[in-house]
């Protein structure tokens, strides 16, 4: 294992360098910044709600564009290596395939951490411009966004290990949509009007799909009220438990991806 760490780090660092050179990422980040700037304009038209609007739209922009970026990077990770045939030069070297995949995930995780940090810093600047404060509550919200995209990257890598980029994007995006609406689907499954077969199917699906609703920063129902950055919010204990869930699910996805990737024939 000690000998694998340098190889994993080398692949991760190379993946990070390739990702940050992608111009598409900068375009998406600029759109997120433009949304934050637009929130300032909307805030000026509101009645003493400038800070709230900037925070709400800012967090929504960071979350939305981080999702797009993580899907784009995750589903194109292996297909890009196959198209450029670089994988044929890497795999024959003294390198295990699981080291290759873990290194790739590490590089994408570093990339997403950097992008979320940059967008969070820009949001903090806009909040300060409006005379507000970017405190610990906002940090928790941004930490949950980062956990969500790290989990989504692992899910996207799982599908990209055996499918094309387009299908991988559809599968991963579909799971994200379902995972973001697990609370609504659970309520629908429990309704008396719902057919028993449909209710059983939905309950089974909800047990398997990743629960991205855990990381939703506003409107989540934790049994004690509505979660909002302006009212009742989660503490660091909730963030840590969400991190444990994301880590366990991402590890399972990577383990399955390694198994499928190890069975691919590159000869």
211 vs 84, more confident: 211
Tokens found for residue 39: 């929130």
| Residue range 147-205, pLDDT digits in tens | 999 999 999 989 888 888 888 889 999 999 988 888 777 777 777 566 777 778 877 87
What is the rounded CA–CA span in Å between residue 204 and residue 212?
A: 16
Q: Residue 78: CB partners within 8 Å, gap ≥ 6?
A: 87, 104, 157, 160, 161, 261
Q: Looking at residue 154, what is its pLDDT?
A: 93
Stretch 80-106: mean pLDDT, rounded?
A: 72
CA 259 vs CA 47, 87, 141, 254, 267: distances in Å: 56, 17, 34, 9, 18
Domain extent for 218: 4-262
DSSP readout, 147-201?
HHHHHHHHHHHHHHTTS-HHHHHHHHHHHHHHHHTHHHHHHHHHSTTS-HHHHHH
Residue 2: pLDDT band (50, 70, 90) is: low
The β-bridge partners of 221 are 226
Hey, what's the torsion of the CAs at 58, 115, 29, 156, to 10 degrees? -100
Q: Looking at residue 93, what is its pLDDT?
A: 61
| Residue range 246-259, pLDDT digits in tens | 999 999 999 999 88
In a domain, 267, yes or no: no
Stretch 26-43: mean pLDDT, rounded?
A: 80
Mean pLDDT, rounded, of the chain: 80
In a domain, 242, yes or no: yes
Q: Looking at residue 224, what is its pLDDT?
A: 46
Stretch 6-35: mean pLDDT, rounded?
A: 83
Residue 58: pLDDT band (50, 70, 90) is: confident
Stretch 77-100: mean pLDDT, rounded?
A: 68
CB 112 within 8 A of CB 19: no
Query: What are the helix (H) ranges across the chain?
Result: 4-20, 23-45, 50-83, 87-90, 97-129, 136-160, 165-180, 182-190, 196-208, 236-262
What is the rounded CA–CA span in Å between residue 232 and residue 91?
A: 50
44 pLDDT above the threshold of 50: yes
The β-bridge partners of 98 are none
Stretch 212-232: mean pLDDT, rounded?
A: 60
- Label residue 253 exposed, middle or buried (CB < 10 Å: 0-12, 13-18, 19+): buried
132 pLDDT above the threshold of 60: yes
pTM of the model: 0.86
Hey, what's the torsion of the CAs at 193, 174, 239, 25, to 10 degrees? -150
Q: Looking at residue 221, what is its pLDDT?
A: 47
Q: Looking at residue 4, what is its pLDDT?
A: 76
In a domain, 88, yes or no: yes
The β-bridge partners of 226 are 221
Residue 91: pLDDT band (50, 70, 90) is: low
In a domain, 219, yes or no: yes
237 pLDDT above the threshold of 80: yes
CA 138 from chain centre, in angstroms, equals 17
219 pLDDT above the threshold of 60: no
79 pLDDT above the threshold of 90: no
Tokens found for residue 104: 């790739």
255 vs 100, more confident: 255
* Domain total in the chain: 1
Stretch 46-59: mean pLDDT, rounded?
A: 77
Query: Which letter does DSSP use for residue 34 in this model?
Result: H
Query: Which letter does DSSP use for residue 223 in this model?
Result: S
In a domain, 190, yes or no: yes
In a domain, 108, yes or no: yes
């Amino acid at each position: 294992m000690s000998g694998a760490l340098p190889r994993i780090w080398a692949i991760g660092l190379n993946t990070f360098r390739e990702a940050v050179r992608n111009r598409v990422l900068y375009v998406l980040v600029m759109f997120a910044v433009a949304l934050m700037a637009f929130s300032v304009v909307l805030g000026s038209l509101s009645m003493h709600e400038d800070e709230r609007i900037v925070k709400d739209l800012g967090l929504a922009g960071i979350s939305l564009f981080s999702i797009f970026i993580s899907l784009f990077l995750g589903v194109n990770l292996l297909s890009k290596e196959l198209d450029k045939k670089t994988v044929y030069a890497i795999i024959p070297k003294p390198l295990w395939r699981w080291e290759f995949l873990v290194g790739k995930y590490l590089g994408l995780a570093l990339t997403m951490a950097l992008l979320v940090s940059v967008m969070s810093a820009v949001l903090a600047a806009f909040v300060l411009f409006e005379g507000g404060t970017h405190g610990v509550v906002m940090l928790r919200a941004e930490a949950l966004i980062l956990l969500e995209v790290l989990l989504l990257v692992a899910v996207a890598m799982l599908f990209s290990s055996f499918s094309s980029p387009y299908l991988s994007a559809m599968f991963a995006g579909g799971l994200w949509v379902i995972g973001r609406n697990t609370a609504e689907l659970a309520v629908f499954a429990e309704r008396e009007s719902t057919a028993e077969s449909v209710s059983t199917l939905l309950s089974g699906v909800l047990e398997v799909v990743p629960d991205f609703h855990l990381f939703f920063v506003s409107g989540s129902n934790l049994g004690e009220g509505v979660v909002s950055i302006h009212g009742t919010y989660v503490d660091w204990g909730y963030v840590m438990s969400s991190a444990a869930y994301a880590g366990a699910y991402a590890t399972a996805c990577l383990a399955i991806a390694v198994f499928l990737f190890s069975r691919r024939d590159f000869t």
